[in-house]
Structure 1
Amino acid sequence: MLPPMATAADMNGAGQAPTRDWSGFYLSAGGGFGWWSADQYTDFGGFPAPGPSERTTGSGGFGTVGGGYDWQFTPNWVAGAFADVQFGDIRGSIRAPFEQYSGTTNDRLNLAAGFRLGVLAAPDVLIYANGGYSHAEFTGSGLDPTPLVPLSVAGQHYDGWFVGGGVENTLDFTGISSPGWFMKTEYRFADYGRKSAGMYVTATGAPDSAIAFRPTVQTLSFSLVYRFNEAGSTRF
């Protein structure tokens, strides 16, 4: 028979390994690499042709900052809401279908807001999926080789959706003792639908014609995360 004091300690949870509490607010910052591809369509007065006539791609690096809130609603499951921004130089080509003119466009900004749901593979390791709303900004460009009347393509703003997933873990998991600090690796795919990117006369701004541009963007990011609840982040 166990001594009375040992029994009481056991009833209070003594001897059990503490588990991490993932609930709370956090901020994140990091960077990564992105790539996009875009189908382009001939645009007849706002009515794009049914099939794509060109396909172009782009790639480049970006930085990212964000924040959110997580709720550990069972011992093994975590749900959360977040928002972040990616800013950088994911650069590629845009082309006037059925013509020889092309230019350079840059996916310079991606905003996202959404939700994530994850499972704890270990007390310090969260594997999650996420999704939600996304907004992208592509820059305008002049067209080369220069037409008889120089033409440019207008910059465009796109609204769409994203899905993705990743892994987040404490730096303690890597052997670095840093209370409050985590690291996160995440992949995303975003679709922005089809929208007309108007062409105009460079010198006067007069409208000329249009290209229907449908981009999808993929990103792989690596971020440091700071959780503000870390002072009380363990429980029994």
Structure 2
Amino acid sequence: MAARAKINFGDFRMRLLRAAGIVIASMLPPAAWAADMNAVRQAPARDWSGFYLSAGGGFGWWSADQYTDFGGFPAPGPSVGTSGSGGFATVGGGYDWQFAPNWVAGAFADAQFGDIRGSIKAPFEQYSGTTSNRLNFAAGLRLGVLATPDVLIYVDGGYGHAEFTGSGLDPTPLVPLSVAGQHYDGWFVGGGVENTLDFTGIASPGWSMKTEYRFADYGRRSAGMYVDATGAPDSAIAFKPKVQTLSFSLVYRFNEAGSTPF
């Protein structure tokens, strides 16, 4: 009777594991290809460096502490707080530099034109009027990080300038008085998000949108009151406004090949 073949289970198990390893390895991408794909996923899809222009609008509000000022000295009466709100349009421009590779730094300047209207008061005489923040200028720097290749999150700050209109005062005294328009210099800080318009599904090279909040603080100044008939100076209203704005803007960058603003 022929001898039965002896099965070496250890050798069979090794061959099975080797075959399974070959199959699994064949299903995996080559290391070089995997590294290239990882680099593509991490590399920014666009270059944020270059000049840009922006335009848009938004909503603003301000608050101010006031008291009657007699020759540089506050009146013995109380101080009051007033506020205002309203809309505005904005235009601006700047330059950004992308580095390291997901950081963006830049310089910019812009202006806001609107009617952020509220009250101005002389508490000692109990006079009041209406003033409007019609114009704001800003120039500063910003620093941001790319959360994705198409989304920039940033903070900014710098110099701010604000202008407020003059007003007649009520209740009308025996000698009608008005308060002069004033301009203020100060500083601002803010932050926002800028993202490309690719999420709309429409190819829009060069275009993005920006949403930004700012807080501006201006030094205290005296808004002088004067006699309407003669223009002679009277007392003054010490006025120190703080202005906050929320704006939405379209941005066009000139650095993208094939992009055209119109």
TM-score by length of 1: 0.90
Q: Which residue of 1 aligns with 2:163?
A: 137
Q: Which residue of 1 aligns with 2:119?
A: 93
Change (3 A) 1:50 1:190: farther
Q: Which residue of 2 aligns with 1:16?
A: 40
Pairing of 1:21-170 with structure 2 (within 5 A): 21-48=47-74, 53-170=79-196
User: Of the two structures, which has the highest relative contact order with CA contacts closer than 8 Å and spacing of 6 or more?
Assistant: 1
The Cα of 1:144 is off from its aligned counterpart by 1.0
Task: Show CA shifts across 1:61-98 (max 9, x none).
Answer: 00000000000011111000000000100000000112
Q: Partner amino acid for 1:40? A: Q
- Higher helix content, 1 or 2: 2
Change (3 A) 1:101 1:158: same
Unpaired runs of 5+ in structure 2? Answer: 1-29
Q: Which residue of 1 aligns with 2:25?
A: none
- Higher strand content, 1 or 2: 1
User: What secondary structure does 2:125 align onto?
Assistant: coil
Contact 2:77–2:123 (8 Å) recurs in 1: no
Q: Partner amino acid for 1:66? A: G
User: What secondary structure does 2:198 align onto?
Assistant: helix
User: What secondary structure does 1:16 align onto?
Assistant: helix
Change (3 A) 1:82 1:201: same
User: What secondary structure does 1:172 align onto?
Assistant: helix
Contact 1:128–1:166 (8 Å) recurs in 2: yes
The Cα of 1:165 is off from its aligned counterpart by 0.2
Q: Which residue of 2 aligns with 1:217?
A: 243
Change (3 A) 1:50 1:129: farther
C-alpha separation between the residues in 2 aligned to 1:139 and 1:161?
20
Unpaired runs of 5+ in structure 1? Answer: 1-5
Q: Partner amino acid for 1:70? A: D
Contact 1:135–1:157 (8 Å) recurs in 2: yes
Q: Partner amino acid for 2:182? A: Q
C-alpha separation between the residues in 1 aligned to 2:35 and 2:244?
51
Contact 1:62–1:86 (8 Å) recurs in 2: yes
CA RMSD of aligned residues (A): 2.5
The Cα of 1:50 is off from its aligned counterpart by 9.8
Q: Which has the larger radius of gyration?
A: 2
C-alpha separation between the residues in 1 aligned to 2:203 and 2:177?
57
Change (3 A) 1:119 1:140: same
C-alpha separation between the residues in 1 aligned to 2:73 and 2:204?
56
Contact 1:124–1:173 (8 Å) recurs in 2: no
C-alpha separation between the residues in 2 aligned to 1:205 and 1:103?
18
The Cα of 1:99 is off from its aligned counterpart by 2.4
C-alpha separation between the residues in 2 aligned to 1:229 and 1:198?
49
